[in-house]
Amino acid sequence: MTKESMYDLLSKYLAGDISAEERRILFQQLKENEELRKEAAGIQNLSVLISMANEDGAASDRQYRLFVGMRKKRALLFSLRKVAGYAAIMLFSVLSTYLLMNYAGNKEEELVRYQEFSTPAGQRAKVLLADGTEVWLNANTILRYPERFDPKKREVELHGEAFFEVEKAAGNPFVVKTNKMDIQVTGTKFNVNAYDTEEYFVASLVEGSVSVSCVHNRNSSYALQPRQQIVVSDHSSKVSSFENTDFMAWKEGVFIFDDMLLTDIIKKLELYYDVSIIVKNTKLGNFRYTGKFRQRDGVESVLRKLQIVYPFKYTKDDDKNLIVLQ
What pLDDT is attached to residue 47?
Answer: 36
pLDDT (tens digit per residue) in 160-203: 999 999 988 878 999 999 999 999 998 899 999 999 999 999 99
101 lies in some domain? no
Mark whether 14 and 82 lie in a shared domain: yes
Q: Where is 27: in which H helix or E strand?
A: helix 20-32
225 lies in some domain? yes
Q: Which long-range contacts (CB under 8 A, 24 or more apart) does 47-54 make?
A: 47/97, 47/98, 47/99, 47/113, 48/97, 49/14, 50/14, 50/99, 50/111, 53/14, 53/15, 53/16
Q: Is the pTM of this model over 0.85?
A: no
Which range of residues forms the domain containing residue 19? 1-92
Mark whether 289 and 311 lie in a shared domain: yes
pLDDT (tens digit per residue) in 138-167: 999 999 998 788 888 899 999 999 999 998
Mark whether 134 and 166 lie in a shared domain: yes
273 lies in some domain? yes
Tens of pLDDT, residue by residue, the chain (326 residues)? 676 787 777 667 655 677 878 877 877 777 677 676 656 554 444 433 333 334 333 433 443 344 344 433 333 333 334 333 323 223 333 445 555 544 444 444 455 678 888 888 888 998 888 888 999 999 999 999 987 888 888 999 999 999 999 988 878 999 999 999 999 998 899 999 999 999 999 999 999 999 999 998 888 899 999 999 999 999 999 999 999 999 999 999 999 999 999 999 999 999 899 899 999 988 888 899 999 999 989 999 999 999 988 889 999 999 999 999 98
Contact 41, 98 (CB under 8 A): yes
Domain finish residue from 70, 92, 114: 92
115 lies in some domain? no
Mark whether 79 and 186 lie in a shared domain: no
117 lies in some domain? no
Calculate the alpha carbon distances from 231 to 123, 192, 203, 224 in Å.
25, 10, 7, 12
Contact 169, 187 (CB under 8 A): yes
C-alpha–C-alpha distance, residues 104 and 201, integer Å? 35
Mark whether 147 and 239 lie in a shared domain: yes
Domain finish residue from 227, 250, 273: 250
Domain finish residue from 194, 227, 250: 250
Among 51, 133, 122, CA closest to 90: 122
Contact 206, 183 (CB under 8 A): no
Calculate the alpha carbon distances from 142 to 224, 256, 306 in Å.
25, 23, 30
- Phi, psi angles (nearest 5°) of residue 129: -85, 170
Domain count along the chain: 3
